[in-house]
């Protein structure tokens, strides 16, 4: 073959011969393809780079110029016909596959799976929260909910925080553009539960709180607290002391000793921090309790008369106590977890230990 002679697929004679052979042959070739893969292979043999139609196109170059326009239209028409036939056969093959599937044996949807799917379980924070809520429930406290996006006055002002208290600073709390904030503690529920209501009350309020802290082994910007408060006639500090002692024994076991240290919170007077005898060294002093034998677990106190007044409750007629604790802290101590970040990383190797 000289350079001027175009290549023509073997068995075809010139352009017309090639075109006719393709036109006559492709319907049967497509019909004979039983699978989508086989069909695509046939299509490639016709239209692909080395396909029959491509060979025919090259043969077109040998035609006299006057015939080329008609020949081009012929090729395009044939190409369209091949593509339409391909699509039709593709649909037919899919239809056949579906028909086979539908006429085959039915699936038994009631069969149990061969591999049992793993069962979920509570997160350590959920375990601790539910346990603490149960303790307070058994003491007569009901559960009260509160919003995580809160008004400044419910989170701070009505609880007796002065306007320039550092906690109200932009740097310490997350503020929304509308002037609300993500609650910095669950004490907001005290206001929510008491405002315009008539005592007695006894509530616990577990929930998520937010502070602008950088995360490290002991801090997270989002964590969980549980608030408890009780208001009635003639509630005294000894009632608070009794509830705390009962709570500590239920949570950490009989004989758990507690200790109260005076402390300051704007919404209680007097205020205190509560320590439990160190659960690790039983009081002899270790690195967790920094040699003191005690570990701080919560803040508490007698509800400040100003808070009652801000909520429309007469402080002469009613008294009450409140306490608040961080659930992460309780969980870390309970399980001997050394880094608070483990609680939010959702590593299954960590979480599966709480199954
Ligand atoms: N709201 C306090 C905090 O986030 C915890 C707290 C302290 C709650 C004393 C109380 C309380 O109800 O009486 O640090």
pLDDT for residue 100 is more than 80: yes
Residue 277 is predicted with a pLDDT of: 92
Q: Which atom of ligand 1 is nearest to the CA of 185?
A: 4
Q: Distance from the CA of 187 to the center of ligand 1, in angstroms?
A: 6
Q: Which atom of ligand 1 is nearest to the CA of 184?
A: 4
Residue 3: pLDDT band by 50, 70, 90 thresholds? very low
Contacts of 194 (CB under 8 A, 6+ apart): 201, 231, 307, 308, 311, 312, 313
Range with the lowest mean pLDDT among 37-51, 60-74, 167-181?
A: 60-74
Q: Is 160 in the pocket of ligand 1 (CB under 6 A)?
A: no
Q: How far apart are alpha carbons 175 and 69 in whole angstroms?
A: 74
Q: Is 226 in the pocket of ligand 1 (CB under 6 A)?
A: no
Q: How far apart are alpha carbons 203 and 144 in whole angstroms?
A: 6
Closest CA to 254 of 238, 276, 272, 239: 276
Q: Distance from the CA of 154 to the center of ligand 1, in angstroms?
A: 14
The proportion of the chain whose per-residue pLDDT surpasses 70, expressed as a percent, equals 96
pTM of the shown model: 0.70
Range with the lowest mean pLDDT among 62-71, 139-148, 308-317, 338-347?
A: 62-71
Average pLDDT over residues 29-45: 93
Residue 147 is predicted with a pLDDT of: 98
Q: How far apart are alpha carbons 88 and 81 in whole angstroms?
A: 11
Indicate which residue's Cα is closest to atom 12 of ligand 1: 323
Q: Distance from the CA of 288 to the center of ligand 1, in angstroms?
A: 22
Phi-psi sector, 255: left (phi>0), alpha (psi -120 to 50), beta: left
Residue 13 is predicted with a pLDDT of: 66
Q: How far apart are alpha carbons 229 and 256 in whole angstroms?
A: 22
Q: How far apart are alpha carbons 353 and 182 in whole angstroms?
A: 32
Range with the lowest mean pLDDT among 123-127, 232-236, 254-258?
A: 254-258
Q: Distance from the CA of 214 to the center of ligand 1, in angstroms?
A: 21
pLDDT for residue 71 is more than 80: yes
Average pLDDT over residues 62-75: 85
pLDDT for residue 319 is more than 60: yes
Taking every pair of Cα atoms in the chain, the longest distance, rounded to a whole number of angstroms, is 117
Tokens of 45: 């043999």
Average pLDDT over residues 21-44: 93
pLDDT for residue 263 is more than 90: yes
pLDDT for residue 4 is more than 70: no
The CATH class of 124-354 is alpha beta
| Average pLDDT in the chain | 92
Residue 284 is predicted with a pLDDT of: 93
Q: How far apart are alpha carbons 64 and 70 in whole angstroms?
A: 11
Q: Which atom of ligand 1 is nearest to the CA of 263?
A: 9
Q: Distance from the CA of 301 to the center of ligand 1, in angstroms?
A: 8
Average pLDDT over residues 129-148: 98
DSSP 135-188: HHHHTTPEE----SEE-HHHHTGGGT--TT-GGGSTTTS-B-TTS-EE-SSTTH
Q: Is 322 in the pocket of ligand 1 (CB under 6 A)?
A: yes
pLDDT for residue 281 is more than 70: yes
Q: Which atom of ligand 1 is nearest to the CA of 186?
A: 1
Indicate which residue's Cα is closest to atom 6 of ligand 1: 324
User: Do residues 233 and 318 make contact, with C-beta atoms less than 8 angstroms apart?
Assistant: yes
pLDDT for residue 8 is more than 60: no
């Amino acid at each position: 073959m000289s350079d001027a002679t175009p290549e023509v697929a073997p068995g075809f004679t010139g352009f017309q011969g090639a075109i006719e052979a393709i036109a006559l042959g492709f319907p049967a070739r497509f019909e004979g393809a039983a699978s989508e893969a086989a069909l695509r292979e046939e299509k490639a043999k016709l239209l692909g780079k080395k396909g029959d139609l491509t060979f025919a196109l090259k043969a077109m170059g040998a035609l006299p110029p006057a015939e080329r326009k008609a020949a081009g239209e012929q090729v395009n028409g044939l190409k369209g016909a091949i593509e339409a036939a391909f699509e039709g056969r593709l649909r037919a093959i899919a239809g056949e596959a579906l028909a086979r599937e539908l006429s085959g044996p039915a699936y038994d949807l009631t069969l149990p799976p061969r591999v049992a799917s793993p069962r979920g379980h509570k997160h350590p924070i959920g375990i601790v929260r539910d346990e603490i809520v149960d303790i307070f429930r058994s003491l007569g406290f009901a559960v009260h909910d509160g919003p995580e996006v809160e008004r400044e006055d419910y989170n701070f002002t009505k609880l007796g925080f002065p306007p320039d208290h550092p906690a109200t600073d932009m740097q310490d709390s997350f503020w929304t553009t509308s002037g609300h904030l993500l609650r910095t503690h669950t004490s907001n529920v005290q206001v929510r539960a008491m405002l315009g209501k008539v005592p007695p009350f006894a509530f616990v309020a577990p929930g998520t709180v937010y502070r602008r802290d950088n995360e490290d082994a002991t801090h997270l910007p989002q964590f969980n607290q549980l608030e408890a408060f009780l208001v009635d006639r003639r509630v005294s500090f000894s009632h608070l002391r009794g509830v705390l002692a009962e709570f500590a024994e239920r949570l950490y076991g009989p004989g758990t000793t507690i200790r109260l240290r005076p402390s300051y919170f704007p919404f209680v007077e007097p205020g205190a921090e509560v320590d439990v005898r160190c659960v690790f060294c039983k009081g002899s002093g270790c690195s967790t309790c920094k040699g003191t034998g005690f570990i701080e677990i919560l803040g508490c106190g007698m509800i400040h008369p100003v808070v009652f007044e801000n909520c429309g409750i007469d402080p002469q007629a009613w008294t009450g106590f409140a306490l608040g604790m961080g659930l992460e802290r309780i969980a870390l101590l309970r399980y001997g977890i050394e880094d608070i970040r483990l609680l939010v990383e959702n590593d299954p190797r960590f979480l599966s230990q709480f199954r």
